[in-house]
Amino acid sequence: MMRASRRVRSMIMRLFVGAMVSSFAVFTLMVVIFGFSLEDEIFDLQVRDAATEFINENPSPLELSGTMPGLKMTYYIGTEAMPDWLKAQVDPTYRNGAFEVFGKEHGHFHALVRTLDDGRNLYVFFNARPFIRSTPQIKGFLVIIGGMVALGLLISLFFLARMSRKVSGPLEHMAQVLGDGDSVAGRMTIPKSAPRELQALARAIEDREARIQELIERERQFNRDASHELRTPLSVAYGAAEVLEEKEGGKSRALMRLKAAIKDMQQLTEGILWLGRDPGRAQACDVSAVCASSIRAYGHLVGDRPVTIRQEGEGVSMPVPEAVAHVMVGNILRNALSYTEEGEVLVSAAEGTLEITDTGVGFGHADPAKQGFGVGLTLVSRLCDHFRISFEATARPDGGTVARLTWRDID
């Protein structure tokens, strides 16, 4: 399933908001972790300093427990004087190091053990719970950070929206100019405030358009020259064939075939030349009459085979020049007659469609040794694409081929 396309501005906004939210989450997590780590370091430092000061003042303390001044830390010499809940939390194998005791309802203690000169262990405990940030305090801290981030996000979105408009606006304008099908020359008006890349893109599109128009004009000029050079000798040849036919009294089959061949060449030439012209300037033709003419012209291809040619539909218009219609219908009809050994070839025309159906071997099932190598259906397909006519040739389930041309009805 393909994802729906998005506008450039929307993509920029979404990516920015996603980046901001992700950065805020990572930043908040780092601040919280750093805050707790810093608290632990401060508490451990206070306990170490208090223990060092106590040992300096009392190298061999007599009392087994007591309270230190300042932050009211508690000390014990050995573990015998400790309360039972605290004794259970202390490992007697600890030597000269800091540790923590989680006493549940009794408190959260940062502790330090030092070995005295007489071999006894000094334990110093500091209840840090009153000094640790509570959950409401942390929530308030996060709310403050969240508010600051939201304010910064709104300010950033305001400037980002202005910046993205400078990018998406020219892009939408270029898409509109390119999409209307007209020439882009002089229409790519990109604001000076737009990024340089967009201005360079607009200039590149205009340059490419100019080169394409130059090539098209060169092709049109060639078609005009080629049209004259090809039509003139064909017209002379056709006229000469008519003169010879008159001298022969119209009875020579060879001259009739020659005239038909020259006429086919004229129509084929005209059809090919239309590939380089604007299809919008073409005039519609009566495709029913073209079908009748093609049947008369190519009916001799049947020969002695038991094949009948039948036509249905009259007065149907097709939005192509008559010469192009002759090329389309003639190639399809010749193809149908060439691959039909018996049965029927039906040429049916209706509003917006033309079908040529045969009872031959079926499209795509012909013997490769009997297939031709002319322009044939390839030219028909190219002409159909040029005049925006749908063309399809498919094999029929019960044998044979149906070639179908469809177009929009002519108003």
168-217 residue pLDDT tens: 777 777 878 777 777 777 777 777 777 788 788 888 888 888 888 888 78
Q: Please give the average per-residue pLDDT across 243-269, as a whole number.
A: 72
Average pLDDT over residues 249-253: 66
Closest CA to 320 of 329, 331, 333: 329
Mean pLDDT of the region 395-404: 88
Mean pLDDT of the chain: 81
Domain residue extents for the chain = 8-135, 198-277, 279-406
pLDDT level of residue 352 (50, 70, 90 thresholds): very high
Domain 198-277 indexed as CATH 1.10.287: yes
User: pTM for the complete prediction?
Assistant: 0.49
pLDDT band at 365 (very low <50, low <70, confident <90, very high): low
Q: Does 98 have pLDDT greater than 70?
A: yes
pLDDT over 70, % of the chain: 88
- In this prediction, residues 322-346 reach a mean pLDDT of 90
Fold of 279-406: Heat Shock Protein 90 (3.30.565)
pLDDT at 125: 92
Q: Is the pLDDT score of 399 beyond 80?
A: yes
Q: Considering only the C-alpha atoms of the chain, give the largest distance between any 2 of them, rounded to a whole number of Å.
A: 151
Q: Check residue 69 and give its pLDDT.
A: 74
Q: Fill in the DSSP letter of residue 321.
A: -
DSSP assignment of 322-362: HHHHHHHHHHHHHHHHHT-SSEEEEEEEETTEEEEEE-SS-
Would the pLDDT of 277 be above 90? no
